[in-house]
Structure 1
Amino acid sequence: MLDIYLKECLYFTSSRISRIITKMAEEEFLKSGLSPTAAYLLMVIYENEGISQKQIGGILHLQPSTVTRIVEKLMAKGLVYNNVEGRLSLIFTTDKGKELEAIIHVCWNSLRERYSEIIGKDLADELSLKLELLSNELEK
């Protein structure tokens, strides 16, 4: 009976898949020397040089304190810097940070290929889109 409760529980099943995919992501992004979240944050900055921390949080659905912590770690590694304009802190990549862009994209592609080989590319894409829609609905 408990088995049925767990299989039918969105909380339990989503937590389980989160743990599995997080482990896979950590293994793939190890090559970059960054956590998956830090790598995704850098990807956002690559596409939006001079972005605010608030905008980063909105794009990645992260709390402001989490964005601040990750940006501070990236700054300590010399990968990003902030340019303060009044009350606004804008984030840019350094040359050292830009050098990681190619390896981060390799890690990202490797992660996608890894789980797509297991469940199939079409299902992986469909699940990602459906989970995005579900997340949006549940946040309302």
Structure 2
Amino acid sequence: MTKEQNESALRDPSPDESFLHTCLYFTANRLSRAITRMADDAFATTELTPAYGYLIRLVIGKPGITQKELSEKLHITPSTLTRFIDKLEGKQLVERKVQGKTVLVYPTPKGAGMEQSLRQASKQLKANYEALLGKELAEQLTRDVETSSALLE
């Protein structure tokens, strides 16, 4: 759908489609797909998905972070986080160390060496969506989504 067609559909939705434009579930998923495409493009240079990139950034920022803390910060289930860490260990970007009952995650030298490229990918993503939305709207939308997410959890 072109930008013009999309804007027209938003202005004049047919009665049987209007619920799509007033439903938080539908609009949030639409936004998620759009920002995911942009994030994938921005992180392509790192050869990692954005989720892996953000996980490594957290580990670099706090070497020895617990899996529990990572799971909470990324808002993903422990089983999903375990799969992510398994993949990143396979790429030799992070390593786990067991301390009693706690699993700690550390960046490897190879993982730590990615910090600048991951930061650059994050900056590029932000620049891309700010270019489309404008800086003010992008910041407001981010705050609104953060607040709404917290209230819905």
- TM-score tier by shorter-chain length is over 0.9
1:62 corresponds to: 76
Q: Alpha-carbon deviation of 1:2? A: 2.5
Q: Select 1:31's aligned residue among 41, 45, 64.
A: 45
Within a 5 Å distance, the mapping from 1:63-82 to structure 2 comes to 63-82=77-96
Amino acid at match of 1:22: T
Gaps of 5+ in 2: 1-14
**TM-score, normalised by the number of residues in structure 2:** 0.89
C-alpha root-mean-square deviation of aligned residues, in Å?
A: 0.7
The count of aligned residue pairs is: 139
Q: Select 1:90's aligned residue among 101, 104, 121.
A: 104
- Percent identical among aligned pairs is 37
1:48 corresponds to: 62
Larger radius of gyration between Structure 1 and Structure 2: 2
2:113 corresponds to: 99
2:28 corresponds to: 14
**TM-score, normalised by the number of residues in structure 1:** 0.97
Amino acid at match of 1:4: S
Partner SS state of residue 2, structure 1: coil
Where in structure 1 do 4 or more consecutive aligned residues deviate above 4 Å? none
1:115 corresponds to: 129
CA deviations over 1:82-128 (Å, ceiling 9, x no partner): 11111111000010001100000000000000010000011101110
Q: Alpha-carbon deviation of 1:3? A: 2.4
